[in-house]
């Protein structure tokens, strides 16, 4: 067995010139520069690991943040122009809302992609061997699939909800018992602002059934009790309600949004003293709630003027008069 040479023994004693901490120190230009300047190899190695390496990691993080920010902005501008052109060619009212939702989704995807790339770059800088990690990607993916099924379901549901355009930013939706305006849509969660100002975060995987009140048109429906003393009184109440609904539809506030005449749908409930009469008025989704309030106020006011409100009192008076 040959004896080790003197240079090899000196190299090992000097702190690992041939194989510094992670095996790549000799290939680093700063390490060689410090050694040539008279710094001991161990000190040069420490400077590289505890000063230069953290600065490099910080630099990668800063660059990743800038790339994510300006990349998302560029995506927003590019897709915004495409969406505007599509809106100009399309006659649908959903084009703008869908474009805003898709832009937000693509921006989130871009930021996620940049973050993953930066994470693996930092692992490589720390000397972590990525080959076993990448080779076991299938096993890791299967483990995540079984262990985080709800998370995978959230991401998949978010993608499908966006692609199918079930709702978009600015829509008013109802999911289970939660109602509000959609403020943000990501692959995992949907943020909804309720009428009282509360912010609800709905995991996309839990959205099994929803109601969207911002599509196409809506109907303002008002149920009002009217006297049920006799047929003539009931017919008179119908005429009063119809006149009040027509006045609201023709008024300056809702004339532009009410494209059809009001409908008296008839009696939907009845008891010994009163019948519940339903009136409906078709309008745009933006004026639905306001029109319902105005219609209810006008109907009650007209019935009161005609002596038909409240229904119970009117029915009692009619019976006494007989």
Q: Give the model confidence (pLDDT) of 140-176 as tens digits.
A: 666 666 666 777 788 888 878 877 778 888 889 999 8
Domain shared by 102 and 176, yes or no: no
Q: Does one domain contain both 120 and 13? A: yes
List, in order, residues 6 or more apart from 3 with CB less than 8 Å away: none
Between CA 216 and CA 203 the distance in angstroms is: 26
Number of independent structural domains in the chain: 3
| Residue 144 domain-assigned (yes or no) | no
Rounded to whole angstroms, the Cα distance separating 33 from 76 reads 45
The model's pLDDT over 2-18, given as tens digits with 9 standing for 90+, comes to 444 434 433 443 444 44
- Which range is most confident: 54-58, 80-84, 200-204? 200-204
Instruction: Read off the CATH number of the domain in which 191 is found.
Output: 2.30.30.60
pLDDT of residue 182: 92
174, 128: one domain: no
Please give the helix or strand (H or E) that residue 7 lies within, else none.
Answer: helix 6-13
Asked if residue 201 is part of any domain, the answer here is yes
Least confident range from 114-118, 129-133, 264-268, 298-302: namely 129-133
Predicted confidence band of residue 297 (pLDDT cuts 50, 70, 90): very high
Q: What percent of the chain has pLDDT over 70?
A: 72
pLDDT higher than 50, residue 37: yes
Give a yes or no: residue 146 inside a domain.
no
Which range of residues forms the domain containing residue 272? 217-321
Q: Are residues 248 and 304 in the same domain?
A: yes
Domain membership flag for residue 194? yes
């Amino acid at each position: 067995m040959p004896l080790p040479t003197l240079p090899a023994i000196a190299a090992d004693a000097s702190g690992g010139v041939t194989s510094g901490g992670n095996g790549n120190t000799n290939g680093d230009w700063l390490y060689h520069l410090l050694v040539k300047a008279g710094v001991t190899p161990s000190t040069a190695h420490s400077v590289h690991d505890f000063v230069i390496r953290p600065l490099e990691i910080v630099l990668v993080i800063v660059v990743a943040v800038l790339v994510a920010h300006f990349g998302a902005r560029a995506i927003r501008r590019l897709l915004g122009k495409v969406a505007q052109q599509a809106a100009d060619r399309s006659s649908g009212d959903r084009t703008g809302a869908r474009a805003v939702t898709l832009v937000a989704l693509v921006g989130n995807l871009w930021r996620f992609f940049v973050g993953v790339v930066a994470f693996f770059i930092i692992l490589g800088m720390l000397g972590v061997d990525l080959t076993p990690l990448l080779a076991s990607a299938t096993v890791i993916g299967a483990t995540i699939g079984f262990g985080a099924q709800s998370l995978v379901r959230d991401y998949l549901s978010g993608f499908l909800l966006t692609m199918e355009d079930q709702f978009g930013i600015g829509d008013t939706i109802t999911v289970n018992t939660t109602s509000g305006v959609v403020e943000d849509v990501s692959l995992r969660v949907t943020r909804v602002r309720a009428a009282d100002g509360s912010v609800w975060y709905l995991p996309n995987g839990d959205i099994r059934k929803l109601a969207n009140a911002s599509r196409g048109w809506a109907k303002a429906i008002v149920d009002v009790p009217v006297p049920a003393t006799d047929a003539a009184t009931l017919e008179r109440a119908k005429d009063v309600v119809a006149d009040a609904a027509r006045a609201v539809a023709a008024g300056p506030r809702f004339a532009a949004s009410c494209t059809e005449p009001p409908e008296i749908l008839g009696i939907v409930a009845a008891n010994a003293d009163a019948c519940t009469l339903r009136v409906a008025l078709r309008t745009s989704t933006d004026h639905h709630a306001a029109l319902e309030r105005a219609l209810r106020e006008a109907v009650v006011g007209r019935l009161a003027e005609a002596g038909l409100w409240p229904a119970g009192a009117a029915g009692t008076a009619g019976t006494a008069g007989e």
